[in-house]
Amino acid sequence: MFDGYTASELVSILAMQGFAGLILFSVFLLMALGLAIIFGQMGVINMAHGEFMILGAYMTYLTSHLVQDYAPGLFGGYFFLAMIVAFIAAGALGLLLEWALIRHLYRRPLDTLLATWGVSLILQQIYRSVFGAREVGVTLPDWMMGALSLSDTIEVPINGLFVMALTLVISGIVFLLMFRSSWGLQVRAVTQNRVMAGAAGINGRRVDAMTFALGCGIAGVAGSAFTMIGSTGPTSGQLYIVDTFLVVVFGGAQSLLGTIASALTISQSQSTLEFFLSGSMAKVFTLLVVVLILLVRPQGLFVLKVRKA
Amino acid sequence: MIGLVLFAVLILVVLPLGLDLFRLNNIGKYLTYAFVAVGLVLCWGLGGVLSLGQGVFFGLGGYAMAMFLKLEASSPEATAIQSTPGIPDFMDWNQLSALPWFWEPFHNLAFTIIAVVAVPTIFAFFLGAMLFRRRVGGVYFAIITQAIASILTILIIGQQGLTGGINGITDLRTLLGWDIRTDAAKYILYYVNGGLLILVILAAQFIKNGKIGRILVALRDKEDRVRFTGYDVAAYKTFVFCIAAAFSGIGGAMFTLQVGFMSPSFVGIVPSIEMVVFCALGGRLSLLGAAYGALIVNYAKTSFSESFPELWLFAMGALFIGVVVAFPTGLAGLWQQYVQPLIGRALTRRSTAAPAGPAAPAPGE
């Protein structure tokens, strides 16, 4: 499949596809982080995660219009405001969902899967009624448009760089939260042994609620980032949900490091293959390899060594 | 047993008498989903193995049948205007000039009928043996089956020349020269479908009430304990997964015959999850309940989405949530818990001499 390309062309192709893969990786990772926190720490399968992401995207869309109408001078920076709005909106909806539905279903992961699928259907229809069935896109401020050219054949889009930087920052914050804060300690304690954690005075119910809200909030930010590289429709979230679940499972559900590694593997192979095969075959190939590896190594790439209760 | 007889009377006598052919054909289509739902009762309700990829098996069965019918409809005379006559029209559109090798055996009806059952079963066996041996279960199994549903859909859509792409395999006409589009054929196919469904339910009942069924329930509730007792847990799970796949394949083939086409929109993630809901609404522990579930949800979907298209997704979403949170045993569970005791009481009051029958067993969680 390398016929007809010179060596320097191949390098450029690999670099460009590698960069496209990095952008895909960023979105995957942002989505998967929230999912991994919720699934890994609470054992809840949130099929509505994609819809939380879309909520963030719609919030960004709304914010961009509001800023454009009422404070056009601030348009260059609306994106930062939009991310905060997206985080709060998705997090609040997550908190509500946890209280209304999820907390009744702990320890029944397959049932959470079905119930949250129902939630995702309802959210999709709400989006369709509120925002219309057509896809919407946001206008990027001037400084985010354009591309940096590294050599005459290699160009990298600035918005892609921004998404990557954002992912880096968010992953950093999540790591700090999970491994350096007392709240993270509580989460990890509850994950490992709910009863003992309770005996040590940790309010497991509150930890669950906050974990779920945080995971959903991150999905909102992911949606916010997503608007920069694609347009948003009511059903866009569903396109990503299976891939993201595979990322989480492939990485080993309870390991955030594994999530990052598997998001990188999947997105890079997907985008590199995409150039040489057709897009759909690249996806088939990637998914197939992931499934085959999971057949051999069902616990995923990275396994947190925990004694099962 | 009385329930099954009532069900048979309903679908084989009452509905054909009460409905016009168009609606009856629709019911026939819904009943093909009941094959999948019955299979899910065995593997999910009894065995605790939730497969989110039943659409794959439904599709494999359906495509096998569709390939046979398509080849019959693509005789050299019928496709004389093509640049290469004798191959299906979509292959011609995609510049294929020879029939792909895996289409060749589907010239033969006997092979096709075997393939309808065997291809999904073998695929399920491969998958189940691999996963259950390595003790992959629950959520992980569900996600992997979902990924496989997604892979197969992308593959079918992507390989347009080999599979008909997103349109699927359409324009199916005859089965061994017998026109399946006539009214008479539609009635006959409906009855064949209904008869097969009854047989499948009987077979499932046999499995459920036998030793295998009890071991499945046991391993659903305490898998390790069953394993330590010396049973080969993986073998039982693989077996029931294969059975569910075989049922789904039959359903898919009957779907193709009655509807006249097969397309990837019955294979992917969304249809697969909907099939789980047919089973969940009817009752994941009751074979008949699941069959009724397929009938009710699909009927509601058709009549509801005609008049209130935007409300349908809300209703479907609420159905998912309600079935999981409020009544996990589905309609069958409600029936056994509330209606049956009422009938029982009414009967015992009338004839005080008759000893009160044992209370309906509460469905276990």
Is A125 an 8 Å CB contact of chain B?
yes
Is A290 an 8 Å CB contact of chain B?
yes
With tokens 């799970």, the residue in question is: B237
Total-model pTM: 0.87
CA pair distance B321, A209, nearest whole angstrom: 19
Nearest CA in chain A to B314: A122
Q: Do B277 and A114 touch (CB under 8 A)?
A: yes
Question: By three-state DSSP, how is residue A108 classified?
Answer: coil
CA A46 to chain centre: 12
Interface confidence (ipTM) of the complex:
0.83
* Count of beta carbons in the 10 Å neighbourhood of residue A71: 12
Helical residues (DSSP H) of chain B, grouped into ranges: 2-9, 15-18, 21-40, 54-73, 89-93, 109-133, 138-158, 160-163, 183-209, 211-221, 223-228, 233-259, 269-282, 287-307, 309-325, 330-334, 340-350
What is the DSSP secondary structure assignment for residue B358, as one 8-state letter? P
How many CA atoms lie within 13 Å of B51's alpha carbon, on the beta-carbon side? 34
* Count of beta carbons in the 10 Å neighbourhood of residue B309: 10
Residue B296 tokens read as 């009710």
Nearest CA in chain A to B317: A118
Taking only the tens place, the pLDDT of each residue in A32-43 is 888 888 887 778
Tell me how close the Cα of A42 comes to any Cα of chain B, in angstroms: 13
Assign B362 a pLDDT band (cuts: 50, 70, 90). Answer: very low
Nearest of B196, B192, B364 to residue B286 by alpha carbon: B364
CA pair distance A137, A135, nearest whole angstrom: 7
Taking only the tens place, the pLDDT of each residue in A243-279 is 888 888 888 766 778 888 888 888 888 888 877 777 7
Q: How many residues does chain B have?
A: 365
Backbone phi, then psi, for B99, in 5-degree steps?
-70, 130
Taking only the tens place, the pLDDT of each residue in A105-145 is 877 878 888 889 899 989 999 998 888 888 887 777 777 77
Chain B hits for A296, CB-CB cut-off 8 Å, are 134
B78-81: long-range contacts (C-beta < 8 A, 24 or more apart)? Answer: none
CA pair distance B231, B215, nearest whole angstrom: 9
Is B166 an 8 Å CB contact of chain A?
no
Chain A hits for B277, CB-CB cut-off 8 Å, are 114
Bridge partners (DSSP) of residue A156 are A148
Q: Do A294 and B155 touch (CB under 8 A)?
A: no
Q: First CA to last CA across chain A, in angstroms?
A: 50
pLDDT at A79 over 80: yes
The backbone region for B48, taken as left when phi is positive above 0, alpha when psi lies in -120 to 50, beta otherwise, is left
CA pair distance A250, A266, nearest whole angstrom: 9
Q: Do A249 and B319 touch (CB under 8 A)?
A: no
Buried b (16+ CB within 10 A) or exposed e, B70-99: bbbbbeeeebeebeeebbbbbbbeeebeeb
Taking only the tens place, the pLDDT of each residue in B320-351 is 888 888 888 888 888 888 888 888 888 877 66
What is the DSSP secondary structure assignment for residue B179, as one 8-state letter? E
Tell me how close the Cα of A285 comes to any Cα of chain B, in angstroms: 9
Assign B365 a pLDDT band (cuts: 50, 70, 90). Answer: very low
Amino acid symbol at A17: Q
Residue B326 tokens read as 């409020």
Is A29 an 8 Å CB contact of chain B?
no
